[in-house]
Chains A and B, each alone.
Chain A
């Protein structure tokens, strides 16, 4: 059964533990600027929204990669960047309409959420269950994918 990140902004307190955990898992550093999950702060509404890749079905990043550096992890369904193959051309960073794959100055490659191989550390770190890792069917993933499809310059086959 495939699982996905389910994010409930209503439960987010803006503590940023997820960003710390994410950056530590991926870089060994507690450096939120290296995190691939980002908590947006809407001061006007007093709201926090954790935001990261949804592993969308369209896989804009994967599709646009000119060197086959992004592939789907058969176990988790995550679209993963193969660092050894990525040349750092950044085409995926403009192709992804969600802005959730980004260039890392530090590595010269692009980085995105890889679901930590099936044990997402943002989920582990979240003290309020604003981010949980659940059966993909329960996440509203479908609704999200439908939204993505509306912006999709792609097949409505």
Chain B
């Protein structure tokens, strides 16, 4: 049995490890599209600050790790998947046959279609190579424009400030991280960034970038901004191009079912490239986050070896630490009228908590700013799908008693032995 895993991010790597556990004799090939050892993009901000070196970004650290698991790690990319045969053509020209295929090719950054976007000094922050370019150019005192205050923009924001650059952030949306935080939380983040010397322009669109004598100028709907370096973090898109004409159905990503299997038998997808079941809505969504990637990888591997494993769905969630202000969001936090939302708004003290319940008093979403203790229980509470009837009133008085609400659930009885 030959398992071909395309993409060496967290989804692909977890899948390979699970495959090895489940099938000691299988032949496993892991295709890594970038040079070097598989690494975690989540670690890039810490590399940029200088807390870790490149080796510190590696997904697995033990020397000889891939050999010890008999995982054949190859550096190449898939150019095309044959429509009728279980065969891929690699960019090197070679072909590979497989019995089961896992597509874990992740995503790539997209750029707005404006003039000057290809100029030297205009870079993405997505790969380790991008990070090297930023580390080279983002010198202390230099002017840096960060285009896009989404999750990726915000996760590198702190490292740029710590490098001592003069930073301007421009965001088209009405607030920072609009898909992760509501207006209050996004506003808190913006005020916090501004208090730390970062210039934040929301509702601002970049229109063109020009270069003169080694300096860049970003023309925006709010005027011109001079820069030594422009970092584009305006969104990513799933890497599905090589699947054209392959018979694998794609939408925002590769459409997969509860087994993480695509429309084509024997072909699975996991991680940022997969559009799989969402825990709360049941619809299929791309949740490009680390926890979903590893869960996808694990479940897909079970199904690749024929051990029927069902995935109930992923829960969207994120955590950001921006210059000391920690914000988290879980699930479906949008909407929620007075009957369905509990809000603890202490924004002047840097704390905010919003809990959103469904019709059955089950937690369906949450945003927390400035609360870090036991935030994981928000996931537990949402994922357990248990009504919090008895706790609504107590949480109304003090929403910070979440962990207690969680401990009071049947888990507490289980702990009791």
A residues in contact (CB < 8 Å) with B:
6-10, 38, 40, 42, 44, 49, 51, 54, 60, 63-64, 66-68, 85, 87-91, 93-103, 105, 138-140, 143-144, 146-147, 150-151, 153-157
Residues of B bordering A, CB below 8 Å: 10, 14, 40-43, 45-46, 51-52, 56-61, 279, 290-291, 294-295, 298-299, 302, 307-315, 317-319, 321, 326, 328, 330, 372-380, 383-384, 394, 403-404, 406-408, 410-412, 414-417
When the two chains form the complex, which single residue of A66, A100, A144, A153 contacts B414, counting CB atoms closer than 8 Å? A144
Instruction: Verify A68–B319 contact, CB threshold 8 A.
Output: no
A68 touches B417 (CB 8 A): no
Q: Are A94 and B330 in contact (CB under 8 A)?
A: yes
Residues of A within 8 A of B412 (CB): 9, 49
Q: Is the CB of A102 within 8 A of B374?
A: yes
Which residues of A lie under 8 Å from residue B310 when comparing CB positions?
A: 156
- Asked if A64 meets B416 with Cβ closer than 8 Å, knowing A40-B403, A88-B46, A94-B375, the reply is no
Of listed A10, A63, A103, residue having the most chain B CB within 10 A: A63
Smallest CB gap from B314: residue in A: A153
Return chain A residues, CB-CB under 8 Å to B56. 67, 85, 87
Given contacts A10-B416, A63-B298, A66-B290, contact A95 B59 (CB under 8 A): no
22 A-B residue pairs with CB within 8 Å: A7-B416, A38-B374, A40-B404, A49-B412, A66-B43, A67-B42, A67-B43, A85-B61, A88-B46, A89-B45, A90-B372, A93-B319, A93-B372, A93-B375, A94-B330, A95-B379, A140-B417, A143-B414, A151-B380, A155-B298, A155-B309, A156-B310
Q: With the chains together, A121 CA to B358 CA distance in Å?
A: 42
A99 contacts B14, C-beta separation under 8 Å: no
Q: Is the CB of A91 within 8 A of B290?
A: yes
Name the residue among A10, A40, A85, A138 with the largest chain B CB count within 10 angstroms: A40
Q: How far is the CB of A75 from chain B (nearest CB, A)?
A: 18
Give the complex CA separation of A6 and B417 in angstroms.
7
A90, B368: Cα distance in complex, Å: 14
The interface residues of chain A lying within 8 Å CB-to-CB of B279 are 153
Q: A154 with B295: in contact, given A67-B40, A68-B61, A93-B376 (CB under 8 Å)?
A: yes
Residues of B with C-beta under 8 A to A140: 414-417
User: Who on chain A is nearest to B411 by CB?
Assistant: A147
CB neighbours of A96 from chain B (8 A):
376, 379
Decide yes or no: A99 and B406 within 8 Å by CB, A8-B417, A63-B294 being known contacts.
yes
- B326-A91 in contact (CB<8A): no
B291 partner, pick from A85, A91, A143, A157, beta carbons under 8 A:
A91
9 smallest CB-CB distances across A and B, nearest first, come from: A66-B40, A99-B374, A97-B380, A99-B376, A99-B377, A140-B417, A66-B42, A155-B309, A87-B46
Choose among B373, B379, B384 the residue that contacts A94 (Cβ–Cβ < 8 A): B379
| Extra A-B contacts (12), CB below 8 Å, given A63-B14, A144-B414, A155-B299 | A67-B40, A67-B56, A85-B56, A87-B56, A94-B330, A94-B379, A95-B290, A102-B372, A146-B414, A151-B380, A156-B309, A157-B308
A41 → B minimal CB distance (Å): 8
A147 cross-chain contacts in B, Cβ below 8 A: 410-411, 414
Q: Which of B294, B376, B410 contacts A101 (CB 8 A)?
A: B376
**CB-based contact B294/A64 at 8 Å:** yes
A residues near B10, Cβ cutoff 8 Å: 66
List the B side residues contacting A6 at CB < 8 Å.
Answer: 417
Measured in the bound complex, the distance between the Cα atoms of B279 and A28 in whole Å is 42
Give chain B residues whose Cβ lies under 8 Å from the Cβ of A154.
Answer: 295, 298-299, 311
B51 and A87 within 8 A (CB): yes
Residues of B within 8 Å of A143, CB to CB, are 414
Which of B309, B380, B383, B408 touches A99 (beta carbons < 8 Å)?
Answer: B380
* Least CB distance, A129 to chain B, in whole angstroms: 12
In the assembled complex, the Cα of A87 lies from the Cα of B317 at a distance in Å of 19
Question: Across the interface, do B416 and A100 meet the contact criterion of CB distance under 8 Å?
Answer: no
A40 touches B415 (CB 8 A): no
| Shortest beta-carbon distance from A48 to chain B in Å | 11
What residues on B are CB-neighbors of A157 within 8 Å? Answer: 302, 307-309
> Which residues from chain A contact B376 at a C-beta distance below 8 Å?
93-101
